[in-house]
Amino acid sequence: MRNEWLRSDRLPHIYCAGCGNGTIMNCVLEAITQTGWDRTRTVFLSGIGCSSRAPGYIMTDSLHTTHGRAIAFATGVKMADPSLHVVVFTGDGDLAAIGGNHFIHGCRRNIDITVVCMNNHIYGMTGGQGSPTTPLGKTSTTTPYGAEEAPFDLVELAIAAGANYVARWTSYHVKQLTDAVYDGLLTPGFSLIEVRCQCPTSYGRRNKYREPTDYMTYLKTNAILKRKWEEMERSGENISPDSFPVGEFVRRSRPVMGVPDEA
Ligand SMILES: Cc1ncc(C[n+]2csc(CCOP(=O)(O)OP(=O)(O)O)c2C)c(N)n1
Ligand code: SF4
């Protein structure tokens, strides 16, 4: 962990043993260190949830806002002072359920912020309710017989809504995740980095991933590189419903809100 970016007086943190969130924070702080950004010109924001506690441990100005509203607050911060670097930590519930509208409109406006979504497929903090990314058939306190609603694909959603940079990795892929966050930080416009990660307490123990390493093994086994995934789709290969593509999905230069279009 990059100590100079850590508020060590706030430790110990609240995360359960084996939670994936610490790994993701570490990757984000490593990436941000590589950018050379000034801590006093960088702002972290979040909504509410386990994931949203992350900015509280980081030594910058930060806003711990209301559930689902981090992107709205981040838009305000960026508009008030466009020279600030603005980074949001969010959960899948925070981003895609209560905050779903802020998410798609943030992408549409292509506001220059970087959003890191810790996607554990569940509302972790409140005890494990199903979220818009709970996979079909998976168990939560609100889907005791298995989720029946099709989940959102956060990557597809961000691309369709207009984000300039979109990637997906996992808490297992620390090097690739760090590189993706770095690229997202430096790409002007809205960047989404979805990170699939383990929540042994609220998701794992209900879905046969009781040990943190069980879910890490799942992530390692089922994350398929985007290029390979596309080949498999083209050739009609049977793809396991547990598998998902990872990598960089979009890097483009749509006009960015608040930045005059040079064309
Ligand atoms: C307006 C409002 N509704 C509901 C809640 C209760 N609540 C707190 S955290 C949370 C869900 C968090 O889930 P997620 O965003 O996936 O984050 P995680 O805890 O899994 O990291 C909910 C529903 C709240 N704080 N505010
Ligand atoms: S409940 Fe889940 S997401 Fe929350 S700290 Fe524990 S393991 Fe992490």
Q: How far apart are CA 143 and CA 141, in angstroms?
A: 6
- CA of residue 214 to ligand 1 center, whole Å: 25
CB 185 within 8 A of CB 34: no
Instruction: Give the three-class secondary structure for 49.
Output: coil
Q: Which residue's entry shows tokens 């990637």?
A: 167
**Cα 106–108–114 angle (5° rounding)?**
40
CATH hierarchy code of domain 3-8+17-251: 3.40.50.970
The residue whose CB lies within 8 Å of the most ligand 2 atoms, and thus the one to mutate among 23, 25, 46, 50, is: 50
Could you tell me the residue ranges of all domains in the chain?
Answer: 3-8+17-251
H-helix or E-strand containing 222? helix 212-222
pTM: 0.97
Helix axes 100-109 and 70-80, enclosed angle (nearest 10) = 30
- CA of residue 150 to ligand 1 center, whole Å: 20
51 CB within 6 A, ligand 1: yes
| pLDDT one-digit tens code per residue, 243-253 | 999 999 999 99
End-to-end CA gap in the chain: 42
- The set of residues, in sequence order, having a beta carbon less than 8 Å from that of 81 and lying 6+ positions away, is none
Give the pLDDT mean for 30-44: 97
Nearest CA to ligand 2 atom 1: 124
| pLDDT one-digit tens code per residue, 130-177 | 999 999 999 999 999 999 999 999 999 999 999 999 999 999 999 999
CB 170 within 8 A of CB 177: yes
Q: What is the predicted pLDDT for the residue at 263?
A: 52
pLDDT band (50, 70, 90) for residue 262: low
Q: How far apart are CA 110 and CA 20, in angstroms?
A: 28
| pLDDT one-digit tens code per residue, 169-226 | 999 999 999 999 999 999 999 999 999 999 999 999 999 999 999 999 999 999 999 9
The residue whose CB lies within 8 Å of the most ligand 2 atoms, and thus the one to mutate among 57, 118, 120, is: 120
| pLDDT one-digit tens code per residue, 58-96 | 999 999 999 999 999 999 999 999 999 999 999 999 999
| pLDDT one-digit tens code per residue, 6-28 | 999 999 999 999 999 999 999 99
Other C-beta atoms closer than 10 Å to the C-beta of 14 total 12
CB 85 within 8 A of CB 40: no
